[in-house]
Structure 1
């Protein structure tokens, strides 16, 4: 007998919100940055969801930046702060790093979609407790919340491999890259959701880390369709960030990476986490074996 989904059952399924980092609008081997952005927004619109874009300020001041950010604002998507220079925060000079965040805010705040959500580049929140807490205080004092990632990925590495292949062979078959990308994201989603269930006692609405790159421009729609077909709910980013699990701070070191892993460490379950959470070193052998 086929199982019949009920509203109560559906509500317990994990949700996933799309967050997109960096907004590097340079051209890739197949399309200009503006065209890639249009494909990303079209995929979001097709599935009726609102995303969050975490924009490095330096990427918002080029020729295409204002047009793209107006389109995100007009589409009802949130725009968050990803620093101006996209430098790693090691915690050594919080005030200097804060000035880089302010510089990005000056560029981003004219857009209606701007929200005081800050996402650390490379998800690094400081190598010391003192540096971590100093930046947390600066953000809080100035009305910012952390734009936490729950599902970390290496989509950027998959995209870089695809770009390299297309530069060498412009007629390369895209299908194997599509499948490898979908498999990777699904593996990461189920891993982080599994950790979250153990730490939080339930599946939350996840914030998925993606980047403004070729592989997402090509296959974001396929990714959303995959999540939906496999029983996950597609949710808007704003309410996902409002969940109590993402609003808390966790006393975990090393600080950063997925907030799910931070919560695992803080709750006394460090065996559930790994550091770094995601890295190209974990994925290279897989893609090499596939000839990609």
Structure 2
């Protein structure tokens, strides 16, 4: 056990062996360089040098009509699946900051891929949910890198965003996270479910705090959170707001990385990437992949409103699909990629299309 000052290095997480230790050493070296650069910039007054806080924090307020729901501390075996169905029912996307210790114990690759199939995004929330500013840089690096490794094992790629437990950060923590290529995501509204507010009061607060690009902090481990979401979504939709996953948490190469996780007899993976209104009809575009049909030709099933499911398209050789259909404004459009083997179909989520002004 390595002791440095008053900080004790924790046990290395499972699967975070020699390769992980080498990575952490590289991260600490990069962190030291980043902190040194920040100190030099501060001493010379050079405003042109990026400090960690300037380069790792998501900037909000630039997305007209969009609210970003975010959920910390999951996954929960009971509440997270209920929440996913609730979001589907309202055609909403969200971002989940998964806690490593919960992920390791509760979810495998199939569950994480299901969340991603539905159009949601994932982020790093550390392994242990500690106040990172109270720990040695080595401990912070092991904690964050271990959480990213767990997510990569299930999702196929390392996350690009993170949220500090308790929002607790300083220059050292930011430098470690930046060395792991993690962008920090804060929040603009927090109803503090842990205080057990009355649901109408929490919803009214979130509506007052709503603005373009606002980020709502919730948790997928409490009944109260489900009731807040259940009341907030229809009211916001009626007011013309939509709910999306944070773009910062969409990793480059995510599609190829997720496809690489599939083997024969695995269920498909995919995602609806775009829902637009073209020439009076909704147009749906995205991708889906099944290792059992590696050359494409995967069937995409669609259900619109109260209608029954029909086959609307097949994927091409590039595993993409793009089609138009008939749907009334506000109708839920639900999609599935049909499994070619014996496993379950991939739920690609439910989506709502509103006619844009002047269309």
- With the shorter chain as reference, the TM-score category is 0.5 to 0.7
Distance in 2 separating the partners of 1:210 and 1:238: 14
Gaps of 5+ in 2: 1-61, 251-359
Task: Determine whether 1:142 maps to 2:185.
Answer: no
Task: Determine whether 1:49 maps to 2:49.
Answer: no
Match runs of 1:11-30 below 5 Å: 15-25=66-76
Task: Determine whether 1:68 maps to 2:111.
Answer: yes
Gaps of 5+ in 1: 1-10, 26-32, 126-131, 159-176, 194-202, 243-292
How far off is 1:113 after superposition? 7.4
CA shift digits 1:36-91 (9 cap, x unpaired): 22221122222222211001100011244555323212212111000000111225
Distance in 2 separating the partners of 1:153 and 1:184: 6
Please state whether the residue corresponding to 1:148 is helix, strand or coil. coil
Please state whether the residue corresponding to 1:90 is helix, strand or coil. helix
Normalised by the length of structure 1, the TM-score is: 0.56
Normalised by the length of structure 2, the TM-score is: 0.47
Partner of 2:163: 119
Partner of 1:107: 150
Task: Determine whether 1:96 maps to 2:139.
Answer: yes
Please state whether the residue corresponding to 2:229 is helix, strand or coil. helix
Contact 1:60 1:69 in 2 (8 A): no
Compute the RMSD of aligned alpha carbons: 2.8
Contact 1:73 1:113 in 2 (8 A): no
How far off is 1:232 after superposition? 5.4
Contact 2:70 2:215 in 1 (8 A): yes
Q: Which has the larger radius of gyration?
A: 2
Match runs of 1:1-20 below 5 Å: 15-20=66-71
Match runs of 1:164-175 below 5 Å: none
Task: Determine whether 1:182 maps to 2:226.
Answer: no
CA shift digits 1:200-256 (9 cap, x unpaired): xxx431111010122223452222112233x251231224879xxxxxxxxxxxxxx
Partner of 1:39: 82
Contact 2:187 2:217 in 1 (8 A): yes
CA 1:15–1:63: 2 relative to 1, 3 Å: closer
Q: Which has the higher contact order (CA 8 A, sep 6+)?
A: 1
CA 1:235–1:134: 2 relative to 1, 3 Å: same
Give 1:152's match in structure 2, choosing from 190, 199, 202. Answer: 190
Bigger share in helix: 1
Please state whether the residue corresponding to 1:60 is helix, strand or coil. helix
Task: Determine whether 1:83 maps to 2:157.
Answer: no
